Amino acid sequence: MSASKTMISSLRRFATALTKGIFEISHNSVALIGLLVLFAAVTLVARPELRHIGEIQLFSWLQERQFEVSGVVSDLLASDRATASDPKQLPKQQAAVALWLSKKYNVAPEPVSAIVSEAYNVGQRSKLDPTLILAVVAIESGFNPFAQSHVGAQGLMQVMTQVHSDKYQSFGGKFAAFDPLANLRVGVKVLQDCIRMAGTIEGGLKSYVGAANSEDDGGYTAKVMAEHARLQLVGLGRQVPTWEASNTAANLPVVNKSKEAIPSHSTETPAVTPLPESKPDKDAVLALK
């Protein structure tokens, strides 16, 4: 065999061996990667805590990457946490009440719609007129879920959080006072207890504002009942003006809501007759007709 043929044969054998080696290395690498992925998957399934850590790390990396690109970190759950609903999805009566309150108190109709819907649901369970509940919200906070009085009454219905902290335990703690729906439910429970102990709606309202032992409640009961009457008319489809001054807590005379002034907020429920039927103030209704 000539030298040239020998060289060509050697080159062919070298090329064949090189190709085979590269194939084996590549094949083994892919297999190794596959084994590593399989091992990682088995580990994550067997160790949920590791999977959770991995998810957190991945989510954190994605957020950082998104901020680098857009300058804003998104939160896909934000809309689920928002207290809002479309007023068009409410029953006609509730929608009318929500839109009227939205206009009068200068708040967006969507969160008011969610509050109105909850008031009707809670009112049905507690046997309280939902428009009475909404009237209390209007007078107490003007639909500001973050309102706080100088004595510590907080949220939509200005519940004394420190006094009624036990009622917030099922909502995750006292910070739930600033969640509109949680505050509404707790406030309705307190109002319900006050009315039961007083025996009348007017007496219950007086107790609710902390004036149970006082002759004068600063006009609180009259303002709530007047707003209650207006809301009932709105729910019936009547045209009720919204131009009058909003009866928010800021416009009311200071009423003592200290712990000593609200013994009627006790969680004990005495054996009394069922809650009296909620009726609008006749003089207020006649004045609006």
Its domain, for residue 183, covers 87-288
**Element housing 268 (H / E):** none
Task: Verify that 234 and 188 share a domain, yes or no.
Answer: yes
Task: Verify that 48 and 107 share a domain, yes or no.
Answer: no
Phi and psi torsions of 252, nearest 5°: -90, 150
Task: Verify that 10 and 103 share a domain, yes or no.
Answer: no
31 lies in a domain?
yes
81 lies in a domain?
no
Contacts of 32 (CB under 8 A, 6+ apart): none
∠ CA(204), CA(209), CA(215), 5° rounding?
Answer: 80
Compute the distance between CA of residue 64 and CA of residue 74 in angstroms, rounded to an integer.
10
- pLDDT above 50: residue 179: yes
Across the range 186-210, mean pLDDT stands at 96
Residue type, 21: G
The CATH number covering residue 174 comes to: 1.10.530
Task: Verify that 276 and 215 share a domain, yes or no.
Answer: yes
∠ CA(98), CA(140), CA(90), 5° rounding?
Answer: 15
Task: Verify that 99 and 61 share a domain, yes or no.
Answer: no
Torsion of CA 150, 153, 155, 156, to 10 degrees: -110
Compute the distance between CA of residue 287 and CA of residue 230 in angstroms, rounded to an integer.
10
Highest mean pLDDT among 11-20, 55-64, 121-130: 121-130
Task: Verify that 189 and 66 share a domain, yes or no.
Answer: no
The number of distinct structural domains making up the chain is 2
79 lies in a domain?
no
Phi and psi torsions of 273, nearest 5°: -70, 160
Q: Of the ranges 177-186, 214-223, 268-277, which one carries the lowest mean pLDDT score?
A: 268-277
Compute the distance between CA of residue 40 and CA of residue 62 in angstroms, rounded to an integer.
21
Task: Verify that 153 and 65 share a domain, yes or no.
Answer: no
DSSP state of 212: T
Burial class (CB in 10 A: 0-12, 13-18, 19+), 165: middle
Across the range 178-206, mean pLDDT stands at 97
Task: Verify that 194 and 107 share a domain, yes or no.
Answer: yes
Listed residues 74, 102, 118: the one ending a domain: 74
Across the range 81-107, mean pLDDT stands at 96
82 lies in a domain?
no
- pLDDT above 70: residue 144: yes
Q: What is the pLDDT of residue 58?
A: 66
Query: pLDDT for 216-265, tens place per residue?
Result: 999 999 999 999 999 999 999 999 999 864 444 444 443 444 333 443 34
Task: Verify that 91 and 230 share a domain, yes or no.
Answer: yes
Q: What is the pLDDT of residue 89?
A: 96
* Between residues 212 and 31, the one the model is more confident about: 212
Listed residues 18, 48, 74: the one ending a domain: 74
Task: Verify that 229 and 143 share a domain, yes or no.
Answer: yes
Across the range 101-113, mean pLDDT stands at 97
Task: Verify that 43 and 152 share a domain, yes or no.
Answer: no
Task: Verify that 100 and 176 share a domain, yes or no.
Answer: yes
Listed residues 74, 95, 121: the one ending a domain: 74
* Between residues 17 and 208, the one the model is more confident about: 208
For the entire predicted model, the pTM comes to 0.66
Across the range 146-165, mean pLDDT stands at 95
Q: Of the ranges 143-152, 199-208, 280-289, which one carries the lowest mean pLDDT score?
A: 280-289
Looking at every residue in the chain, the average pLDDT score rounds to 78
pLDDT-derived band at 167, boundaries 50, 70, 90: very high
Contacts of 250 (CB under 8 A, 6+ apart): 142
**Element housing 153 (H / E):** strand 153-154
80 lies in a domain?
no
Across the range 81-97, mean pLDDT stands at 96
- pLDDT above 50: residue 131: yes
* Between residues 44 and 275, the one the model is more confident about: 44
